[in-house]
A and B are shown apart, each in its own frame.
Chain A
Amino acid sequence: MVGFSQVGAESDWRTANTESMKSTFTEANGYKLIFDDAQQKQENQLKAVRNFIQQDVDYIVIAPVTETGWDTVLQEAKDAGIPVIIVDRMIDVSDDSLYTAWVGSNFLQEGYDAVAWLGDYLKKNNRSDDDINIVTLQGTIGSSAQIGRTDGVEEKMKDYPKWKMLERQTGEFTQAKGQEVMESFLKTYQDIDVVIAENDNMAFGAIDAIKAAGKTCGPKGDIIIISFDAVAAAFDSMIAGDMNVSVECNPLHGPRVAEIIQKLEKGESVDKIAYVQEGVYPADTAAQEKPKRAY
């Protein structure tokens, strides 16, 4: 019996995350899943976890709304002898033994992947020796996705002395802000070669801004668009020829969580931190990949 407390249903990504859990922990697979939607409120999650403890579930899975405020309720779970697995966002607790394992995305690795893709792409197009000007649309400052992706890109960019980061500015993960900031970038810098948008929505905004400025983007255009998340709409954008690549942020946590539970059942030890597999999806394969996507 597994209790799962989900954040809510605020995006396609979240819906796919929920769906992955539900389809993994089916009765056919030998599980009984108790699902709770917290509607973006931590107090609902605390209530849900306490309910799980009372119902004496075997495992508790939490996709936390916030990082802090978990100590008390996780201590209760620990006292009841129920292992807790955290998915997606990390939690900040005084004692690491309060949870058994964490499953989620490696945002730093996503940043590395983006740089690696750009390096290969430029080499393929014989532009390795050119000066490359880059601007970044950052996510909401302080979010783990923003920190990981910004740091990952910055770290690996050092290997490419010809690349220059002109400016970074936050687009707060929204399409409207992404567009507004990109409009400003385009006026300040005349020769932008690459736009890195730390999520797909901001990339859509940036694409609109670029088109409005009379420039082109995508595989056949002047400006290369690199994005993160790889949601369904990003595949549409790549098929339309506007976006070059999107680095996946995989929401399909279910199988990985099940793996950990199986290990625990057998009495084996598990790694504290488990990353999910994430791919890089360039535009030229977008049309073939899209039908295979679960979200």
Chain B
Amino acid sequence: MNKLIVFVKKLTGTRLFLPLFCLVLVLLSNLIKTPTFFQVTIKNGVLYGYIIDVINRASDLVILSVGMTMVVAASGGTDISVGAVMSVAGAVCCYILAGGLQTVNEFQNPYILGVLAAVFAGMLCGCFNGFLVAKMKIQPMVATLILFTAGRGMAQLITRGQITYIRVESYKMLGASIPGIPVPTPVFVALLVVILTYVLLKKTTLGLYIQTVGINSRASRLMGIKSSRIIFLSYVFCGLCAGVSGLVASSRIYSADANNIGLNLELDAILAVALGGNSLGGGKFSLLGSVIGAYTIQALSTTLYAMGVSPDQIPVYKAIVVVIIVALQSTELKKMAKRYQTGREVGKKVA
């Protein structure tokens, strides 16, 4: 019995327990109204089911939130330009692949060129943000506000205000699935980004450096860490993630829709980091927490669709669930609960 209590305490004590608990709770709530929620079948050689939708649709956000976690941890600020950067990356890729035309049925340039250019464009945007934050010491939100507003304009310029369509089967694969493989491709892309980042952080000292800089950048500079370089790199990495995410989003709709790719996704990415139990003030961070947060947000959207909540009420339900999740994780609430508990125990003893 004692062992069990210790085990439960240990389990609930880990950092990832609460975010994971919330995700599971959101998913399980579907069983009330949609008993088939966890049913997975195969259609057209691809896995098919609500749960697959959640995992597939969350991929863009997972990739974004990985980058966002680095930025938050290192600079204690947020990069609000990621949604716009996604749209820039999508526009660059489609512009190159379409060779400047509006609708094409075959690539005008090699696929790999478009992909590399898109990722490069994302990193370039990240360099710009990083330069403003790390070197010019501008507040992150103000610095990234520039690309937040200008980014979509740039994407519009590239696509000349039109939606550029790439109607090529192989272009759709990144956002849909590769023939013969039953799992949607975005899932692999998200997994790859998460694993590579995780390994990079664990195998090198980068993760430690980012935390150190985030906790106290001056102290870490005195220790010999180039804090401005770490912050700069985190923004470049975030831009890279936004570029990859933009590619996936653009491939899903096989076009560059400069107005809508990644629209409002920067807010979801920040929310994912927060839901993952990370402090938005920087310092200690958990990459997996953010990833779980991203899946939770998508699980919530899919749940609301599955439950048939009317569209004008969806934002209200989302807000309520987010408030509950954030409240569950707040340390103040935990303290209050503890105080209440000890108060009761003391009361018992006295009696």
Contacts and interface: CB of A to CB of B under 8 A. Distances in A.
A233 B253 contact: no
Interface in B27-55: 34, 36, 43-44, 46, 48-50, 53
B255 to A, nearest CB: 7
A138 B311 contact: yes
A168 interface: yes
Contacts of B49: 187
Given A187-B306, A188-B34, A188-B308, A11 B163 contact: yes
A176 interface: yes
A11 B165 CA distance: 13
A10 interface: yes
Secondary structure call for the A interface: helix
A208 B44 CA distance: 13
A212 B306 contact: no
Contact of B176 (A180, A204, A212): A212
A235 to B, nearest CB: 11
A82 interface: no
Nearest to B306: A184
A205 B253 contact: yes
A213 B48 contact: yes
The interface size bin for chain A is 35 or more
A168 B46 CA distance: 27
Interface string A197-238: 000010011001001111000000000000000000100100
B259 interface: yes
Contacts of A14: 161
Interface in A218-269: 233, 236
Contact of A184 (B255, B302, B310): B302
B305 interface: yes
A39 B302 CA distance: 34
Contacts of A180: 53, 57, 301, 305
A285 to B, nearest CB: 21
B43 A168 contact: no
A43 interface: no
Interface residues of B, number: 36
A273 B301 CA distance: 40
Interface string A173-188: 1111001110110011
A31 B53 CA distance: 55
A212 B43 contact: yes
Nearest to B260: A174
Contacts of B53: 180, 183-184, 187
A167 interface: yes
Given A10-B259, A168-B311, A236 B103 contact: yes
Contacts of B161: 8-11, 14-15
Interface of B: 34, 36, 43-44, 46, 48-50, 53, 57, 103, 153, 156, 161-163, 165, 176, 249, 252-253, 255, 257, 259-261, 263, 301-302, 305-306, 308, 310-312, 314
Given A14-B161, A172-B260, A201-B163, 16 more contacts: A9-B161, A11-B162, A170-B311, A176-B249, A176-B260, A176-B261, A179-B253, A183-B53, A187-B36, A188-B306, A188-B308, A205-B253, A212-B46, A212-B176, A233-B165, A236-B103
22 contacts: A9-B156, A11-B161, A11-B259, A39-B153, A138-B311, A167-B308, A168-B310, A174-B260, A175-B253, A176-B249, A176-B252, A184-B50, A184-B53, A187-B49, A187-B50, A188-B34, A188-B308, A201-B257, A208-B176, A213-B43, A214-B44, A214-B48
The 9 A-B residue pairs whose C-beta atoms are closest, nearest first, are A9-B161, A170-B311, A184-B305, A214-B43, A175-B253, A174-B260, A214-B44, A141-B312, A169-B311
